[in-house]
Amino acid sequence: MVDQQLILPLLIVRAETYASPLLGRAWMTKIRLDWENLSSPSNGQSVVERDNDEYIARLEERYGEVFKPELGTVKDVTAKLNLKDNAKPVFQKARPVPYALRPAVERS
């Protein structure tokens, strides 16, 4: 590992329950780590080698509400939007829908 010394932006937030640490893109592109080995399971088996169908089935069983096709609502969460006093809204043109997704969008 090469010695590294960087000055990068860091945002610290308070969480009521455990939240996994997040690094922004600035960190991910600058810090020289062996990301492939860090993100794979410790038993040496790659994520691709896992039985994805079984893994997905367990996720769907455990979190069935999340995988429903209809829209839902977020419960027990209060959102707060902090704006600067001099903030002004800016119009943004809608992004174009990719050609491959247009039939699905038109059906809905």
Tokens, residue 10: 């860091």
Alpha carbon distance 27, 7 (integer Å): 10
Q: Which of the 8 DSSP states describes residue 97?
A: P
List the alpha helices (DSSP H) in the chain.
Answer: 25-30, 35-39, 52-62, 102-107
pLDDT digits (tens, 9 = 90+) for 50-100: 567 788 888 888 988 888 888 777 788 888 889 999 999 999 998 899 999
Q: Which of the 8 DSSP states describes residue 11?
A: -
Is the pTM here over 0.85, yes or no? no
Name the residue ranges covered by the structural domains of the chain: 25-107
Q: Is residue 7 within 8 Å of residue 30, measured between CB atoms?
A: no
